[in-house]
Structure 1
Amino acid sequence: MLCGTCAKPGQFMLAERPLPQAAPDGWVLVDIDAVGLCGTDFHIFEGKHPFLDYPRVIGHELSGHVATATGDWPKGLPVVINPYLSCGTCIACRKGKPNCCTDIAVLGVHRDGGMCARIAVPSGNLYDASSLPKGAAVLTEFLAIGAHAVRRAAPQTGDTVLVTGAGPIGLGVALFAKARGATVHLRDASSARLNAAAGFGFVHLYGVTDPLPQGGFDVVFDATGNARAIEGGFAHVAHGGKYVLVSVVKDDITFSDPEFHKREMTLMGSRNATATDFATVMQALSDGTIDVARIISETLPLADLPARFPALVANREALIKVVVQIGGQT
């Protein structure tokens, strides 16, 4: 089978590997139908990801169908794959937080991912996707990142929320914050991204030089992946508010301790997602709360990706979600 592989920064290729024919006990073989491209994949291509060794088969936003009947998983069942493989025994796992397991292995990052015809995953990392509309399953993982960040911050009805970074992850944060009744503001350097956000009904939109409302926000989310933007976000948190760092950068982050303390600010990281967040997203996709067609910018076959990858990375601001088609189902 051909596997979408970043051999080194700036080099993406299709590498041939054997098609898996068996899975370890407790694991399930899944034939991949579609893979979503995201900022993580772009950062891998650019050599900016802090937790990765090359070469790496990318792909962690995955939908597929069961290749071989295993346990309670019948052959052909459409599934969403949770790409966060946890140890199950560390302190985080024991506390119900496998998303930040001390020995986590994320498909497509710490270990080879699913941009290929078939992959084996633990049965506990599969979710039945048979209730989802066509094309929706592949969107679940990236939206779960936003759902998790919002659940962590727990904004209330009437709270004001600022999401800095209106790319796919920031958009997911905004959608789930809005669903909780918050008034959502988005800020981004890209007018294209702000225009895309407007298509989802958001009206409080700001460029990086536009003035923001006085008094700060109850919750500020950073989804920029930019160290300077992260540092600048501290100033926009209201007294008693929360600052949630969804994006990750290699840099050290500094902030004014007096400002932090006088506001009694809560600073929290948000990493990956849990089964609860996947369920939240799948319900929103099933009931039509989230418009699948509006999110998918383009679908292309795996064979076209090596030639297209550099341009997709360069033009990411104009895209919400690019989906790479692997198998015949979606």
Structure 2
Amino acid sequence: MRACGICGSDGLYISVGGIPPRQGATPLGHEPAGEIVSIGAGVRDLAVGDHVVLNPMAAADGIIGSGGAQGALSEYVLVRGAEAGTHLVTIPAHIPFEVAALNEPMAVAGHAVNRTQPKAGDKVVVFGAGPIGLGATIAYKLRGAHVVVVDIVPGRLEKALAVGADAVINSASAPVDELLIDLHGEAPPSFARGRRAGTDIYLDAAGVPQVIETATRLARHGATLGVVAVHKRPVPLDLGALLTTELTVVLSMGYPTEIFEVTRDLIENWQRYALIVSDTIPFAEAQRALDLATTPGAADKVVVTFP
């Protein structure tokens, strides 16, 4: 391993004592980038010295860092039956390992974007400017969408603009409804009551009930609401009120096909993706990295690097 990102779920695994049935024995780290140091005789299309990103979900001994026998927060990971394009893919040597380690979370963001089926020219609002929200912002922009990002942390909103967002809204100090209608226009009259924004796609990457409330209140007829954030408590949804909007609600989990589809974008736009990484911490201080990443508001994307 040369770099491994810290995910919010790592803190969850620690707090609950592992992942059943492996409680207390869950190796951590599922955002890996590394360098091949040894290969078996039957391995094809890979060579010692290749820089690679892995598919944690393809490992033969369970999902890497999420209940499997291995975690990427360790010096080495053994990929059994390794096949290029299935278990891992090579990346150019000029891509920093800490940026390459974004491949897995960007695949999560990419799947969320795919689920909402954006088209060039669509008007999109992303709630939450954490790593997934920023990754989704980049993905939407690469597809030709107009993207507004909403968050309450000024530094995150600045980063959203830096990665390409067309506009940002600080929902702690500004009226989201009015500003979004100003930015995306007002939807034409329909059966839905009240003023509605012309926004085509709402993406919840924040995981707070207010996002769902805002999106359903503003959604025009035929809009799409995507949810990639983890909501830890039930969120009420008034289906009767939503009936007239014919709102499409899609949920997003993991990356069924996106794990290596996103690699091309990461390579071509690595300097933009690099802005998502807020802290790089050496492996010798991995506990500090975990503490930093799991302290609300202390950091954005923390990546552990290896010598």
TM-score, scaled relative to structure 1 = 0.75
1:294 aligns with 2:275: yes
Deviates more, 1:232-241 or 1:61-70: 232-241
Q: CA deviation at 1:42?
A: 3.5
1:120 aligns with 2:83: no
Tell me which of 54, 69, 76 is aligned to 1:81.
54
Q: How does 1:150-169 map to 2 (within 5 A)?
A: 150-169=113-132
Aligned to 1:129: 91
1:132·1:286 contact (CA, 8 Å) conserved in 2? no
Rounded to whole Å, the distance in 2 between the matches of 1:132 and 1:274 is: 28
1:220·1:236 contact (CA, 8 Å) conserved in 2? no
Rounded to whole Å, the distance in 1 between the matches of 2:107 and 2:261 is: 8
The one-letter amino acid paired with 1:178 is K
Q: How does 1:277-288 map to 2 (within 5 A)?
A: 277-288=258-269
TM-score, scaled relative to structure 2 = 0.80
Aligned to 1:106: 63
Deviations 1:277-322 (Å, cap 9, x if unpaired)?
23442222322365244232221111112245324422x5353322
Aligned to 2:32: 62
Query: What 5-or-longer segments of structure 1 have no aligned partner?
Result: 1-31, 88-103
The one-letter amino acid paired with 2:72 is G
Q: CA deviation at 1:182?
A: 0.9
Deviations 1:27-57 (Å, cap 9, x if unpaired)?
xxxxx11101122223434559998863222
Q: CA deviation at 1:162?
A: 0.9
Deviates more, 1:189-198 or 1:127-136: 127-136
Rounded to whole Å, the distance in 2 between the matches of 1:52 and 1:229 is: 34
1:34 aligns with 2:3: yes
The one-letter amino acid paired with 1:44 is Y
1:222·1:247 contact (CA, 8 Å) conserved in 2? yes
1:170 aligns with 2:133: yes
Deviations 1:87-114 (Å, cap 9, x if unpaired)?
9xxxxxxxxxxxxxxxx95322232421
Query: What 5-or-longer segments of structure 2 have no aligned partner?
Result: 182-195
1:297·1:322 contact (CA, 8 Å) conserved in 2? yes
Deviations 1:163-199 (Å, cap 9, x if unpaired)?
1111000000111011111110111122221122122
Q: Alpha carbons of 1:144 and 1:51: their partners in 2 closer, same or farther (altered >3 Å)?
A: farther
Q: How does 1:202-221 map to 2 (within 5 A)?
A: 202-209=165-172, 210-211=174-175, 212=177, 213-214=180-181, 215-216=196-197, 217-221=199-203
Aligned to 1:14: none
The one-letter amino acid paired with 1:301 is P
Q: Alpha carbons of 1:300 and 1:174: their partners in 2 closer, same or farther (altered >3 Å)?
A: same
The one-letter amino acid paired with 1:268 is V
Aligned with 1:157: secondary structure?
Answer: coil
1:50·1:250 contact (CA, 8 Å) conserved in 2? no
Aligned with 2:107: secondary structure?
Answer: helix
2:134·2:163 contact (CA, 8 Å) conserved in 1? no
